[in-house]
Amino acid sequence: MAGQLPHVLVISGVSSGVGKTSIAIGIMASLTHRGMRVQPFKVGPDFLDPMHHTLACGGIPSVNLDGAMMGRDGVLESFSRNCRASEADIAIVEGCMGLFDGRDGHSDCGSTAEIAKWLHAPVVLVVDAWCLGRTVAAIVHGYASFDPDIRLAGVILNKIGGESHAQWLRDAISSSVLTKGVLVLGCLPKSVAVVMPERHLGLHLPSSETHTTIQHHIRLLIDAHVDLDTLVSHTEDADSAVRAPTSALSLPVLPDTLNHDLSRLPPVRFGVAKDDAFCFYYHDNLRHLEAAGATIVYFSPLHDTTLPSGLHGIYLGGGYPELHGSILEANKSMRASVHAFASGGGLVYAECGGLMYLANTLHDGHGGSFAMAGLLPFDVTMTPRMVMGYINASPSPALASLLRLPINLVLKCQQFHFSEATNDVGKPVEQLGPTGVGIGWTGVAHPAFHTTIVRSSSHTPQSSPEGIVQASTIATYCHVHFGATPEMAPALVSAARRHMRYVSLEATATETLGAIWTTKDDEDGYTTNPSVLRGISEFCTSPAWLVRSLPKLTLSLITATTSQEIERQVQELHATGLRDLHTIDTVSLQMSKPDVVFTQEACDRCAVTDSALLRALDAVGLADVTSTVLCRPLTVNDMLSQVLRLAAVVGESRRGCILHAALTRRLQVVRDLIDAENPTKPRVLGLESAFPLVVSGQWLPDMRLRAGGVEALNESYPGCPPRRLQWDEIVAASPEVLVVACCGKSATGSAKEVEEHLAILPGFWDLPAMQTSPPRLYVVDHDLSSRPGPQLVDGIEILAALLHPTIEFPRQSLHKAVLQFVGPQRCLNLAEYFVPVNIKVGMKIDATQLETFEPSPIATSPRTLSPIQSLPAPTIATSQAPPSGAFPLAVSAHVLLSWNHKLLLLSGDTSPLDDATNLWEADVSLANDGAPSSLLVWRPAPCTAVYGEAVPTRRSNHAAVVWGNILVAFGGWDACGLHPLADLELLDLTTRCWTHGSTVGRPPSPRGNPSIVLASNRVLLVFGGWNGRDRFNDVVQLDLTSWSWSTLSAHDELHPASPSPRTDHTAIWWPSHSKNEHDRSGDDIMVVFGGSDKHQGPLNDVWAYDPSRAGTVDAWEQWICTGEVPPPRTSHAAILADSHEIEDMDDEDDNDDLASERYRLLHRVACARGYRQYVDPGSGYTVFTALYLKDRACCGYKCRHCPWGHKNVKKGVKNPNPNLEW
């Protein structure tokens, strides 16, 4: 029934006590027993009956439909959503009281009849016929005719004295012309075995075996005496499967979130008390909490010793704590845990029984007193007086402030309790006014609500204070229905977010949070709480008021300041085995106990990466309770969306919307002014590095376009990655405005870079940007545009004023972050002629009016040219060329294989991301004695791909093996190192053609750092690896004859007879030809050594796996090693030689990159001078440049691989592809 609504039937009674609930439960149980999925509902606010429904329907939660609280749209929304969620075949709705009994005597508001009419559902009427004869016909006629909009499907006559009594009643109904059309669906005999005891107008809890037995007897009674087939078919004939209106099918729009995708936010862990003492919850309340972003974690105040770890809020519902006072009192550790959570600022929401649990002492009314949590300044005492009714509640100022609710909001709720708040001598704390209406609770400074009882009389109701708000604890006797007040659930979740603990290791996030917390909200006027930010990274320098006193949890290992020095230092750090370029203060991290950490994954040099952070959280035991939020906007719109997202994360959605609107308005003003003037838009080129030349990307092209410029380079667009380019591309682009913002440098630092690297290039002074007076060459402090936060809008306004100085933009400042060149043509000391730009309304920039400027210190925060990409300074004198061939670029996380007397290197991480060489090969030359010499001749091995397939996938930390002439690659991490892969790709080593591996069966889950071995030349075995959070110890087999996956050993973290889940290990296949049933050494086995697991870190254990024993307890065997056992290690290598396993500790190839860098320098110089070829002085070889290759026409024969680099084109086309990267 997924996607459509089921048929529906309402079970009602002529009054309370006629057996309606028992019969409804029996029908639900019987239909469920027949294999139908029954969605149960209960009319009204009752808590107990739905618990019995849920038990009868096999665990499908029963849902309350209360017209008085929820209204028509709320009822229809709840009905349709819950039916779809359970994929029900039929919905059974049990009514409350009599069919027409509701909130008052002059309408059907809150009645079963109202719900039946809204659902267009037929009604089955239950009649207590114990003392009835022919009068039953009159009763049935009255109910059938009272409201013509009610469709009476039939009646069930309960408590029949015998068969003759049943026939008498049937005859009475069928013989009357007024009732002969009414079906008698069943006559149930009176049975003591099915009497369900009641308590306080409801049934007892369905937790005992007695109730289960009673339900069983009821089902058998229904099966024997009710015509279920007719009942079900009649619902179909009645067209009861009414469709709710479209407007009611979705959850109410959450306030102030602009429909933000809550699934992308870190979850808020709400602890919900659930046991025999606390069991009164509307199912829709929990559903609305989950829809608002909460993760429900159940706990038992009766039986659990402490609260679950990592909670951000507690929901204590109603129930019967008075029946379990002694157990609750005895559980001192739980009471202390709840008290500590609330005292520490955690959000606690308690209703009725929850209020009782938070009080000092519970007096049961029979002389017993029991200590409770002791949070609230009063006791609670059981009384014989019942308080029951619908309540309209408005939040008090304290509650409105805590939950950010409108002060005039009216919450629909109900009360039902026998206890009252009392002082230590048993007197009620509620103070009454002259009219008998409550005016406050003694000792309670801040009530939770101002409540009024919903009455049918015409008297104006008087409100009275109720409940308590104490710090972040809310306690009330009101049961609020979150479906009736859709603001409530998001308010609770957002309040919990405002009390969570945060750490920001990303400067953009810190800047954005500061802007959010300082945004004024004149409507609500509530203050923010920036103290929830507990730590930052060393690069979080703005805003100063926020970061000034916060501990810095990271320290960069990079101390260099120039791009050349940074790259050299990075290579040195990598050579020592370090992959993380930032240290994390794990002690401070553990002390801060963050619930959420803001981080990034784009660049391992700008800040701590998400993967490094996860390892640190894992090390201090916080990985399971701390969420991470990745900040990676690529455009200005992404930045605006991030404002909303971060605001939602910290529970400040409304302020986020206000800030978002303000930033959007400022951008619109700039656009409107430019559109109104319609000026000529200059061609703008932006650089983020002068040497090597790198054109800025991501949000920077977007800023230039929004400021009224045109990208001088066609390849630049909003969101594009930064890329390296040749000087002749800049000359050809003829930029009219040149903006330079070098990574990690101030404006003065960028000016120096322009002097040293750009001004000396041929054609620089002839660029159109340099031909105006003054020249339109600007250098910008990198911090003004390097952080994609709200400050980008400042940059756009400034840039718009620079590009269009005649337009009056609403901004006027002498901005020292932007300098303009005002010197003479072809000057040598160019950096001395940069001065601050005076961006003034309605005035052109005149060099004679510019003030002198004292250069600011050069920024020292290291920034890369593009993610994971930077090159050292080219040099010629310090390196010699190899005798012949070439070197692969410096690599790590790669795979080294042997095939056909060659070494094959399948690339992993390399310095330049745009390097397209995926495979390298080397011949091993032989000495005179036939042994391999020390000389390796490397060369790239160009490969093609099957037409239409985007292979190979750029990856690192993958696994590969050679099978015959086929190279099989599996798993690893994507090019950015963000996502684990499960791709299987094949390379035919004879044709050098890549293709996807087409397999059947369930492949291994995505993972990086796995191992793969070729077993017996017909199967591949994949073991271990990790996905960034979880490590694996499963063994998955790929049958190479059928290309089918199968799991030999499932992932089991606790299995004692298998290796612990691990990653960065090695595995080899150890074949044997002497099979012996009792001797393990004679088996073909996979041997696994080392790696790292979650608990111990690096390992040095050795395990053997026998695939022939898959599925048995002895498939794995740990080997006991003697002698000089290698120390624990990870990211190593292993080979099999002469039946011995040999480990190699090196974890990366540290080739010198200077030689290849010299080649690049020579090539750039040759191209800049227009050479088509040049002679390499190191080798004496003639080298063709890109200028030569561009001019060489394509042969047009659709070659799978073109040695000149052309892409496939139609036959006869002779022009080279202009989009080709050279």
Q: Give the C-alpha distances (Å, rounded to integers) separating 38 from 11, 24, 76, 993.
A: 14, 12, 17, 56
Closest CA to 485 of 740, 288, 726, 195: 288
Q: Which residues fall within 8 angstroms of residue 258, CB to CB, at 6 or more apart?
A: 644, 657, 660
Instruction: State the Cα–Cα distance between residues 74 and 1213, nearest whole angstrom.
Output: 66
Which listed residue (57, 96, 352, 1202) is catalytic? 352
Pairing mode, if any, of strands 438-441 and 430-432? antiparallel
Closest CA to 553 of 578, 533, 569, 570: 533
Instruction: State the Cα–Cα distance between residues 1012 and 410, nearest whole angstrom.
Output: 63
Token digits of residue 178: 């007024």
Closest CA to 373 of 321, 319, 343, 336: 336
Q: Are 225 and 51 in contact (CB under 8 A)?
A: no
Pairing mode, if any, of strands 313-316 and 268-273? parallel
DSSP 8-state code for residue 204 = P
Beta bridge partners of 779: 740, 819
Beta bridge partners of 617: none
Buried b / exposed e over 606-631, threshold 16 CB at 10 Å, is bbbbbbbbbbbbbeeebbebbbbbeb
Active site residue 943: no
Closest CA to 1217 of 1188, 1194, 1187, 1185: 1194
Token digits of residue 755: 């002097």
SS3 86: helix
Count other Cβ atoms within 10 Å, centred on residue 1119. 12
Beta bridge partners of 91: 8, 39
Torsion over CA: 19, 21, 23, 26 (sign):
negative
SS3 571: helix
Q: Are 957 and 978 in contact (CB under 8 A)?
A: no
SS3 388: strand
Going through 402-496 in order, the beta strands assigned E by DSSP cover 411-422, 430-432, 438-441, 449-453, 464-466, 468-470, 473-476, 479-480
SS (H, E, C) 711-750: ECCCCCCCCCCCEECCHHHHHHHCCCEEEECCCCCCHHHH
Secondary structure (DSSP) of 627-693 = EEEE----SHHHHHHHHHHHHHHTT-HHHHHHHHHHHHHHHHHHHHHHHHH-PPPPEEEEEEEETTE
Question: At how many degrees (to 10) do helices 20-33 and 48-56 cross?
Answer: 20
Residue with tokens 């309340």: 285
Instruction: State the Cα–Cα distance between residues 754 and 691, nearest whole angstrom.
Output: 9
Instruction: State the Cα–Cα distance between residues 565 and 549, nearest whole angstrom.
Output: 31
Amino acid at 36: M
CB-count exposure of residue 867 (10 Å: 0-12, 13-18, 19+): buried
SS3 270: strand
Active-site residues, by number, are 352
